[in-house]
A and B are shown apart, each in its own frame.
Chain A
Amino acid sequence: MSFNHKNHQLISAVIQNPASTAGFSKADWDILIRQARRANILGMLFYFLREKKIKQAVPAFAFRHFQAQANLDENYRDAVKLECQRVSDILASINTPLVVLKGAAYVVADLPVSHGRLFSDIDILVPKSGIAEVEQILKLHGWLAGQIDAYDDKYYRQWMHEIPPLHQIKRGTSMDVHHAILPETAVLKPDSALLLQAAVPVSGYENIHVLAPVDMVLHSMTHLFHEGEFDHGIRDLIDLDGLLKYYAERDTDFWPCLLARAKTLDLSVPLFYGLRYLKRLLNSPVPGHVMAESEEIIGGRKKIMDILFDRALLPDHKSCDDWFTPVARWCLYVRSHHLRMPAYLLIPHLLRKAYMKRVAKNRSPDDKI
């Protein structure tokens, strides 16, 4: 049986119907590996194929590329867990619980979506009132902000939802310390206190917490649909697909809770987008009534957003692009800035950044702006 698909639907074909890989031609494997490599999901697909018990059916020439990335997984997970444990110990000394977000959270909580998933930094959430103290104690333990000029520093501290990224001087690990999941200046204002209150302890650790299941899903959706970078769009969708399947199976109240929580946190819009594109691109099992209820929130913009997101969420590989893809990515990039900051702040900021980029070329590196 030959399986009919177009190149841009290959990854979604694998996720929706793993058995369809039996009908893949050599050319299909070529494109799948290239897209997956670009989206950084070769390792995730290895575990996915293994879980669906079809990894034996993958031809050897292709299989080794999935295997190669999966070989990094075990040590990567150990390293992430060890680093979280260290940060947890540091925060415990000032009686602050460690709340881990995104990729590192999936790893410490041993969620199925964490397998084979590579990411570059650890994200944590702390109360805004305690952030100075957290920064201070982390600094004592070798977590320092990299070279950053006064303007950027101020930009982070005044407007963003995080302090400038920290780097561990000995181990080179990076960490983003957040006090919220969206910038202070963003249109939507989810209350961090609610997220922190509902965070759940991770078994096996003393002081490590992750967001409650519904909050974890909403955070991932908010991140994907409000930050204008889609390099890992398909990876984040696969995460969400995995999280929804995992939690909906374990808790019958999951869907109503998700809808209610989105309202409470002011995140109904990202929830709508998340559900819509999970359904459109990965055919995720979102119940019809949940979709309908979520749709009530949004007006008539669906068609336009479909044109943009259907393209931008695919891997950033030429086999997925049409002529409109670059325009779609650009439009969403502009949208993300609009969602981050009001124009009266954004325009002076962008002008200043553009100016500094020009003058930076003529300066010696240790000049301070």
Chain B
Amino acid sequence: MRVSAFSKVELADCLKKQGLCIRVGSFSVKIHSSMSVVVDGIFALYSDYALADDDYADFHIEINPPRNARRWYRPQVDFYFDGYRPFKPLPQDQAFALFEWSFNWCIASNCHTHLILHAAVIEKNGNAVIMPAPPGSGKSTLTAGLVSKGWRLFSDELAMLSLDNETVCALPRPVSLKNDSIEIMGAYAPGSILGPIAFDTSKGTVAHMKAPSESVARALEPAIPRWVIFPKYQSNQQAVLAPMKQAQAFMHLAENAFNYQVLRQAAFEKLGEVIDQCQVYQFTYNNLDDALEIFDGLD
């Protein structure tokens, strides 16, 4: 059974009372929330996800107003990780975005069975492209564009490299779009579905785009990393895919890892393997059509 089996009222009831337990990639997550923004977001963006066994969840996430006056006065929202509140509250209209960020945090700070890079991952024919990049480089926009045209979405934030084998694991979730890219994707992929919009976040205006149904259905199929591509959006520049030095790429990947510091030797060896098995490029582009053509031509 999928989340789509619920009406919005049933979904709201479930989130408020027993909690909604869903399967996302190889994880199960139980979500509690009484907030309508969260219900809206999950109803719009998580309809394809399978319901998980209610008895067990890898992560228990609660998104609710604080238990004080800030529930009403200039309303705020809190993230509770199984009863523990790791962060300060945010304005209430950011509740759904907070859920997405919280979920990322749960994985990045707990799943040390994998080396986790801050990078987008997409796949075609069993081969994966890892795209690490700082915020503002257009990584999520590029990911959203490519997955709307046939690439399979693994993640737009977390590259999960297994320490036990040479694969990268899929964690298909809504793609986070910021500022101008919300409108750009609306025009580029008119059928795409957007969740609630959060204004004035630390990253500007944020909205999440629904992951393609096929990516969600195939979430348990891993892939082999074949390319590491550092994307950079530059409005005045034609699309260029330029080879990059392996050593330089290694350093950039290490800087972009969430748990390199704590895994140390295992992380060092893993990154070495990834760099060895991948072609490494820097990619500058100024429109999605050119990017699609170049990515489709990767060999």
Contact B55 A69 (CB under 8 A): no
- Quick one: which of A30, A68, A71, A318 contacts B83, CB cutoff 8 A? A318
- Quick one: which of B55, B110, B163, B264 contacts A65, CB cutoff 8 A? B110
A27 with B56: in contact, given A71-B163, A75-B263 (CB under 8 Å)? yes
Q: Decide if the interface of chain B is mainly helix, strand, loop or mixed.
A: loop
Contact B111 A25 (CB under 8 A): no
A128 within 8 A of B: no
A139 within 8 A of B: no
Q: A residues near B, CB below 8 A?
A: 25-27, 29-30, 34, 37-38, 61-62, 64-65, 67-69, 71-72, 74-76, 78, 317-318
Contact A75 B262 (CB under 8 A): yes
Question: Which 4 A/B pairs are nearest by Cβ-Cβ distance?
Answer: A75-B264, A26-B56, A26-B55, A27-B55
B35 within 8 A of A: no
Q: CA A74 – CA B262 in complex, angstroms?
A: 10
Contact B113 A34 (CB under 8 A): no
A sample of 11 cross-chain residue pairs with beta-carbon separation below 8 angstroms, ordered by A number, consists of A25-B55, A30-B56, A34-B82, A37-B82, A68-B110, A68-B111, A68-B113, A71-B112, A71-B263, A72-B112, A318-B83
A61 with B56: in contact, given A34-B82, A38-B84, A75-B262 (CB under 8 Å)? yes
In the complex formed, the residue of A with least CB distance to B84 is A38
Q: Which residues of A contact B53 (CB under 8 A)?
A: 26
Q: CA A29 – CA B55 in complex, angstroms?
A: 9
A71 with B265: in contact, given A26-B55, A61-B58, A317-B82 (CB under 8 Å)? no
Contact B262 A76 (CB under 8 A): yes
Size of chain B's interface in residues, with CB distance under 8 A?
20
B5 within 8 A of A: no
Interface centre among A29, A30, A65, A318 (most CB of B within 10 A): A30
Proximity bits, B102-136, A CB within 8 Å = 1, else 0? 00000000111100000000000000000000000
Q: CA A27 – CA B60 in complex, angstroms?
A: 13
A56 → B minimal CB distance (Å): 16
Q: Which residues of A contact B113 (CB under 8 A)?
A: 64, 67-68, 71
Residues 38-57 (chain B) with a chain A CB within 8 angstroms: 53, 55-57
A30 with B112: in contact, given A37-B82, A72-B262, A317-B83 (CB under 8 Å)? no
B266 within 8 A of A: yes
Q: Which residues of A contact B56 (CB under 8 A)?
A: 26-27, 29-30, 61-62
A68 → B minimal CB distance (Å): 4
Q: CA A26 – CA B55 in complex, angstroms?
A: 6
Q: Which residues of B contact A317 (CB under 8 A)?
A: 82-83
Q: CA A72 – CA B111 in complex, angstroms?
A: 11
- Further pairs besides A67-B113, A75-B263, A76-B262: 10, Cβ < 8 Å: A29-B56, A37-B110, A64-B111, A64-B113, A65-B58, A65-B110, A68-B112, A75-B266, A78-B264, A317-B82
B198 → A minimal CB distance (Å): 28
Q: CA A69 – CA B58 in complex, angstroms?
A: 14
